[in-house]
Chains A and B, each alone.
Chain A
Amino acid sequence: MGKFTEDDLKKELETKEYEYGFYTDIESDTFPVGLNEEIVRAISLKKEEPEWMTDWRLEAFRAWQQMEEPEWANVTYKKPDFQNISYYSAPNKKAKYDSLDEVDPELLETFNKLGISLDEQKKLAGVAVDIVMDSVSVATTFKSTLAKKGIIFCSISEAIKEHPELVKKYMGSVVPQKDNFYAALNSAVFSDGSFCYIPKGVRCPMELSTYFRINQAGTGQFERTLVIADEGSYVSYLEGCTAPMRDENQLHAAVVELIALDDAEIKYSTVQNWYPGGKDGKGGVFNFVTKRGICEKNAKISWTQVETGSAVTWKYPSCVLKGDNSIGEFYSIAVTNNYQQADTGTKMIHLGKNTRSTIISKGISAGKSQNSYRGLVKVSPRAENARNFSQCDSLLMGNNCGAHTFPYIEASNKTAKIEHEATTSKIGEDQIFYCNQRGIDTEKAIALIVNGFSKEVLNKLPMEFAVEAQKLLEISLEGSVG
């Protein structure tokens, strides 16, 4: 002990293998590769969707055909061949289970390896989990408890069938079908996802949570999440991702829409740990996600994300602060290692009066990775007294990685108050020396500093999720945390 230096940490980071890379052998019901109107129709048919949904998908698909893949992000990768992906894959044994005992033991084993024993979570944490494994919900727990309060928490395909009026009204209202290339693709082919509706004045008694995994080789994951918090309600939503080890790049293009009506509050937390690719930069998941929320009067949306995985990340959870006095928050930790590339950040669009937003972004780069923060703060001419505070800090480990900051600040109202600050640094020798001097060895000192660096964001995660987040963060930064 005590000899653990930053170099050792670096080495350890580089050699640390992806622990969660395993593959569950469940027979899947997979579509042939390729994408055309027939496939879109077939997905819709398979999901037994009503006609309006099929039309909606087709509209998106036609728009997508006209679009070009964006190239402005600060990432380089081989573009996926969209005709070489299977757009639907569902675990074969898709009977609904009443209890966990009935669930395929192999599947349970998968979750055990991930450290999210449903049993344990049910008992200890009281988390209702809607697990999306390769696109279809296989287990939903605590549904009845939620139903008593009038909360709807189900898969999106179920919602399309059972609550079409809600889906029709809100789907695409925040992220329109034609919003961007990947959102259009998702709108056309989304296979499943989660749907959540909190009725007026209801405070959701537990953290809602879903798990996404990419399991079948060569299948894209296109899930769609829609969270609606009606007037005066509150919900905290957790989303976690891990994917098994694969050599070819897998595509993940999700869309998340949040709607916070008057006085509502949504807290959306993500832990993303898709397979980041090997040490040599081979394989890994492409994570191209569109996340956006809209705040009505006095509403609040808070995004928290811990990004440790994916070979390429392209993700900007945003808030449209439409109503007066609405609040948007964004807390993010992005860790990149080896050949990972992350281009992530947020957009805060201030439209209403007295709107406030906070952005705290922490980037940690190691190995040969590139980590970018890209954010927009926009104050429209009518947004009186808008207030924004942004802080982006980067920590570099080693000499082969890069940290980039691209903040866009656009203010057109004289009462706007905007502050932006960014720093880049490495772990200071003086900081380590200070700790050493007080009897804290170097390993602990580094842990302490990295912990302190990301604490502002980690603290924002819900209690139940914190353990999980810690665990996933450890994959990238083991030996330094705790």
Chain B
Amino acid sequence: MSLKDKFISSFLAFEDYLDDDSPIHDLRNKAINNFELKGFPSKKEEAWKYTSLKSLLKADLSLFPKQENGVDFKEVKKYFLHDIDTYKIVFVDGVYSSFLSSTTHEGMDVCLLSAALSKDKYKSVVETYFNKIAKEESMTSLNTAFAKEGAYIFIPKHKEVEKPVEILNFYTGSEVSLMLQPRNLIVVGENAHIQIIERHQSLSENAVLTNSVTEIFAEQRAMVDYYKIQNDLPEASLIDNTYIKQERDSVCSIHTFSFGGKLTRNNLNFYQYGEHCNSILKGITILEGKQHVDHNTLVHHIAPNCESHQDYKGIYDENSIGVFNGKILVEKDAQKLNAFQQNNNILISDKATINSKPQLEIFADDVRCSHGCTIGQLDDEALFYLRSRGIGQKEAQALLMYAFANNVLESVKIPELKKRINKLIARKIGVSLGFDL
């Protein structure tokens, strides 16, 4: 039985086990049908031209852990942003861990999707928002079919969330070949502000594949600040599908820091429905070994007078492969638009590869769209300058790489997080520098 058939048949069992009255019952059925129709994406599809899931799908993946696995706080403490207070929604092998989490219902909801899907008081929110902007792509559909757990965040009007929310997914690896389907729903009401940090982390070397879907709704004047930290073990793979719908005057920014993992695919989709929206997509990718990271972004400009800014930096060492596929789609009515896209890459090793495809599709005339893409090396003269001032080769290189990535790092708004990422970069490049950027 192929993996696809296996998933389809486990869906039947899954449906039986769930309550049939669930409001998303139809959605699930529709989604599995869509997945059945499309199957797993292959390299023949334009969007997956440079990334193959073949090697990941060879394993006999199972969708649900057979037992409940617990972790010690001590073991995972280092993955939390422990120097500041945060709300935490923590999952262990896809199952909510109340012991590690700190949620709230005071004036807003920072809790679980399973609760939101089953309780009546959330019904209207779920009906209005759940699966409303997620596209009918095969991996997203697979997630929708099996979605039962994830973060649920609802911020009402004019509410400024006073501390960041951390969404952490831990994988104990006590079971082999798990494929998890976390599903997050985030609704940020009018004029509300929120900061979110998302992280996937495996705790042992057993392979795990995560197929995550996040839907974010930013209402008028909402501000969403989202950070994705991808620094997993070299065995873990992640397919991240994020969909953001923006209303008038909202500002959404997503930072993606890809340092770890075997294969990471980021599908980032922005839809600007209201005027004067601003979308910010930034990323730093530092890879080595046989890592593969694929950033696939879409900014769909539907309303006029909007802005979007994309800035992705990549540093590729050893046999790593980087992919950037950025698309700006401007509808006929999206006049007076400013859209920028930049992708800069440095290849350190002879065996590293970068495939970049910055794409523009424009149907409006009064717009300013530009994109730039560069592939190059560290400047020899700059290196020489530093070395002539007594800085070692390795440090000098690191310094230049820092400078290269700094543009993106600069816009991280949580100082503790910035520090943390700084350290991660230092460790990744293999030097310790006695300064903060």
On A, residues with C-beta under 8 Å from B are: 72, 379, 381, 394, 396-426
**Cα–Cα distance between A399 and B366 once the two chains are bound (Å):** 8
Q: Are B377 and A420 in contact (CB under 8 A)?
A: no
Min CB distance A453 to B, Å, is 14
Q: Are A418 and B367 in contact (CB under 8 A)?
A: no
Q: Are A414 and B348 in contact (CB under 8 A)?
A: yes
Q: Are B358 and A420 in contact (CB under 8 A)?
A: yes
Q: Are A399 and B376 in contact (CB under 8 A)?
A: no
**Cα–Cα distance between A381 and B355 once the two chains are bound (Å):** 13
Other than the known A408-B357, A419-B372, A420-B373, what 8 A-B pairs have Cβ atoms closer than 8 Å?
A: A397-B365, A405-B371, A409-B356, A410-B356, A420-B356, A421-B372, A424-B360, A425-B368
**Across the interface, which residues of A come within 8 angstroms of B348, CB to CB?**
414
A408-B355, A422-B370 known; A417-B360 Cβ under 8 A: no
Q: Would you mind naming 16 contact pairs between A and B with Cβ atoms under 8 Å apart? A: A396-B364, A396-B365, A400-B332, A402-B361, A404-B359, A408-B356, A409-B373, A410-B354, A410-B356, A414-B349, A414-B352, A414-B377, A417-B374, A417-B376, A418-B373, A421-B373
Most B CB within 10 A of own CB, among A379, A402, A408, A414: A414
Beta-carbon nearest neighbor of A412 in chain B: B353
Beta-carbon nearest neighbor of A393 in chain B: B370
Q: Are A424 and B357 in contact (CB under 8 A)?
A: no
Which of A413, A418, A419 touches B350 (beta carbons < 8 Å)? A413
**Across the interface, which residues of A come within 8 angstroms of B374, CB to CB?**
417-420
**Cα–Cα distance between A448 and B377 once the two chains are bound (Å):** 39
Which of B347, B356, B366 touches A414 (beta carbons < 8 Å)? B347
A424-B367, A425-B367 known; A416-B373 Cβ under 8 A: no
Min CB distance B339 to A, Å, is 9
Which of B358, B367, B375 touches A411 (beta carbons < 8 Å)? B375
Min CB distance B354 to A, Å, is 5
Q: Are A410 and B363 in contact (CB under 8 A)?
A: no
Min CB distance B183 to A, Å, is 32
Which of A397, A402, A414, A419 touches B373 (beta carbons < 8 Å)? A419
- Interface check B106, CB cutoff 8 A: no
Question: Shortest 5 CB-CB distances between A and B: which pairs?
Answer: A396-B365, A414-B347, A418-B375, A405-B360, A420-B373
**Cα–Cα distance between A326 and B169 once the two chains are bound (Å):** 52
Q: Are A404 and B362 in contact (CB under 8 A)?
A: yes
**Cα–Cα distance between A403 and B329 once the two chains are bound (Å):** 10
- Interface check B302, CB cutoff 8 A: no
**Cα–Cα distance between A405 and B361 once the two chains are bound (Å):** 6
A407-B357, A409-B357, A410-B353 known; A417-B377 Cβ under 8 A: yes
Min CB distance A328 to B, Å, is 17
**Cα–Cα distance between A415 and B378 once the two chains are bound (Å):** 10
- Interface check B63, CB cutoff 8 A: no
Which of B332, B352, B359, B364 touches A406 (beta carbons < 8 Å)? B359
A72-B46, A424-B367, A426-B365 known; A413-B347 Cβ under 8 A: yes
Q: Are A415 and B362 in contact (CB under 8 A)?
A: no
**Across the interface, which residues of B come within 8 angstroms of A425, CB to CB?**
367-369
**Across the interface, which residues of A come within 8 angstroms of B357, CB to CB?**
406-409
Min CB distance B333 to A, Å, is 9
Q: Are A411 and B370 in contact (CB under 8 A)?
A: no
Beta-carbon nearest neighbor of A400 in chain B: B332
- Interface check B420, CB cutoff 8 A: no
Min CB distance A302 to B, Å, is 23
Min CB distance A410 to B, Å, is 5
- Interface check B123, CB cutoff 8 A: no
Mask: chain B, 80-96; 1 = CB below 8 Å from A; 0 = not = 00000000000000000
**Cα–Cα distance between A28 and B365 once the two chains are bound (Å):** 46
